[in-house]
Amino acid sequence: MDTLTLTRPDDWHLHLRDGPALAAVLPHTARQFARAIVMPNLRPPVTTTAKARDYRDRILAAVPAGAKFEPLMTLYLTDNTPADEILRARDSGFVHGVKLYPAGATTNSDSGVTDVGRCTGAFEAMQRVGMPLLVHGEVTHGQVDVFDRERVFLDEVMRPLRRDFPALKMVFEHITTKEAAEYVRDADGPIGATITAHHLLFNRNALFMTADGRAGMRPHYYCLPVLKREEHRQALLTAATSGNPRFFLGTDSAPHSRGDKENACGCAGCYTAAFALELYAEAFDAAGALHRLEGFASIHGPDFYGLPRNAGKLTLTRSACQVPAELPFGEHSIVPLRAGESLAWSLTA
């Protein structure tokens, strides 16, 4: 198969930032995706429907002329989010999920949830009105190894939470482990999971060496949850290419300036928005499953969220496409994933 035409896809997990950064990255997403679930971890975070409305207006103002893009907004859950805020979010029509960041888990998560027991009122309201809970599934206790944080979260937080709120619609975001993939596959009730292109393409060796084995720290491969062992990457590929509608595309594209990444305390995040479909196509192709890409990228997500599938189409061809060494990012630059490399698939329409 050398040409692949898909229903226009959506990105079910995206960081767009704000201000000049937003203006720099949004055209990359709008080129490929009709809609995206927009993460609320701004500084300060998007904790209310009123803030989400303002942020949505800023995003719409940054959409390039001639492009069509719909931001699907989310609220940032805190220990104090009242049930009323969930109702306002639902009534707005533009808020499509509430994001749970365990406090301290990742970029701008310090106002996140310190204990899910404090969010019972919000969870009850979400369960009642059908508002999805989008979960960054990692524990943050210092004694838990960074590579085990998702697995421990699954047992300590996810399973009990879903026992207590069995009808609460949940997305286990950017899953990175075999355990999470199998849990989502086998669980009862309304649960889905997003999978990033970088977790499908790379295992944790990528943090410490080039593809041809040259050693060295590679900060542009550092994200959270961190890349895992090859057996986990294989399990994610199996899930993504299985045709199971619980698994769908979420890039978790997370722009940080070159200086914030190439730093003694570098930020977490891989920038994949500019070549997202090309990267996913490479992963699905390598698994011999290009025929499953459309379901994963364009069908399972809208069906899970109860939104219409997109009407437009997008075409990929098997022809080399060059990723630039860097991209403009306001006064700075971003180094995209696979910078300077050639990808096997190109977007043609």
One of 106, 111, 241, 298 touching ligand DOR (CB under 6 A):
106
One of 41, 47, 111, 177 touching ligand DOR (CB under 6 A):
41
**Residue 15 found at the interface with ligand DOR (CB under 6 A):** yes
One of 78, 107, 272, 298 touching ligand DOR (CB under 6 A):
107
One of 11, 138, 150, 252 touching Zn ion (CB under 5 A):
252
**Residue 254 found at the interface with ligand DOR (CB under 6 A):** yes
- The secondary element (H helix, E strand) that includes residue 123 is helix 120-129
In the bound state with Zn ion, the residue whose beta carbon lies nearer, of 85 and 252, is 252
Task: List C-alpha distances in Å: 297 to 267, 286, 301.
Answer: 27, 16, 7
Q: What angle do CA 70, 73, 79 make, to 5 degrees?
A: 175
Whole-angstrom distance, CA of residue 157 vs CA of residue 133: 13
In the bound state with ligand DOR, the residue whose beta carbon lies nearer, of 256 and 293, is 256
Q: Which two tokens stand for residue 218?
A: 């590679």
CA 213 to chain centre: 28
In the bound state with ligand DOR, the residue whose beta carbon lies nearer, of 136 and 151, is 136
**Positions 221 through 240 that interact with ligand DOR (CB under 6 A):** 223-224
Closest approach of ligand DOR to the CB of residue 41, in Å: 5
Instruction: Check if the beta carbon of residue 113 is closer than 8 Å to that of residue 103.
Output: yes
Strand segments (E) across the chain: 3-7, 11-14, 35-38, 70-76, 95-100, 133-135, 170-172, 191-195, 247-249, 313-317, 321-322, 327-329, 332-334, 342-343, 346-347
In the list ligand DOR, Zn ion, none, the entry touching 149 (Cβ below 5 to 8 angstroms by class) is none
DSSP letters, 168-181, are --EEETT--SHHHH
- Active-site pick, 18, 54, 145, 252: 252
Residue 252: active-site member: yes
Active site residues: 252
Residues that bind Zn ion (CB under 5 A): 252
Residues that bind ligand DOR (CB under 6 A): 15, 41, 106-107, 136, 223-224, 254, 268-269
